[in-house]
Amino acid sequence: MALLSVSDINVYYGAIHAIKGVSFEVNEGEVVTLIGANGAGKSTTLKTISGLLHPKTGGVEFQEKSLLGVKPHKIVEMGLAHVPEGRRVFLQMSVEENLEMGAYTRPGSEVDPGLEKVYAQFPRLKERRKQTAGTLSGGEQQMLAMGRALMSSPRLLMLDEPSMGLAPILVDQIFDIIQSLHKAGTTILLVEQNAQMALSVADRGYVLETGKIVTSGTGAELLNDESVKKAYLGG
């Protein structure tokens, strides 16, 4: 049984039919990527899973329970964390306060062990723990947004374009972190426009085009797929 199962969802913004019958699964321990161009429907899909948008038809199941009609904060409590596009951290708060906010669904006794774990994963955040988040670089803010999501001890971590707007060296660092989270057993649903990087770290991937899944396969299969190469990997 899949950890997350999205079946035939249709999502609209008023008259705009943004997601047209999308189905996919994420199994425990996998990194699964959803790649696609700007406007393909990647963020809409993640927002629908986390309860911010509601599908007109279709189903979303997490740990065999339907998420339809469940409030977003309850979905976080169930173990599903969503790092939105554009990494929204609390700019006026310190790094450590941002991380503590991420643990709001957890008992108080888990906050300090959670911080230790996140600091072990992101030494850069530990060095800057007292600094306000607004003074961090873009890459560090992305690390903070990921660390904050991890503070909820999620069963599934959803990342919306973590590499967006970052310099190549920081993109490499973010993907190294994704790989080490994967090795540690974290299940990840990764949405990316950077298909090359995403498919390199993913067990499996799906290609989304104008609201529909057009291709799927293992990361390696998609990296070698002629149409994927042409459309997303620069030939």
Ligand X SMILES: Nc1ncnc2c1ncn2[C@@H]1O[C@H](COP(=O)(O)OP(=O)(O)O)[C@@H](O)[C@H]1O
For residue 163, state whether it binds Mg ion (rule: CB under 5 A): no
Contact residue for Mg ion among 5, 43, 45, 142 (CB under 5 A): 43
Q: Which does 13 bind (CB under 5 to 8 A by kind): Mg ion, ligand X, none?
A: ligand X
Q: Which is nearer to ligand X, 121 or 194 (CB)?
A: 194
For residue 42, state whether it binds ligand X (rule: CB under 6 A): yes
Residues 105-124 that bind Mg ion (CB under 5 A): none
For residue 104, state whether it binds ligand X (rule: CB under 6 A): no
Q: What is the largest CA-CA distance in the chain?
A: 52
For residue 18, state whether it binds ligand X (rule: CB under 6 A): yes
Q: Exposed, middle or buried: residue 101 (CB in 10 Å: 0-12, 13-18, 19+)? A: middle
Bridge-based pairing of strands 212-218 and 204-209 is: antiparallel
For residue 162, state whether it binds ligand X (rule: CB under 6 A): no
Nearest to 36, CA basis, from 161, 201, 202, 178: 161
CB of 43 to Mg ion, least distance (A): 3
d(CA 174, CA 170): 6
d(CA 174, CA 72): 26
Binding site for ligand X (CB under 6 A): 13, 16, 18, 36, 38-44
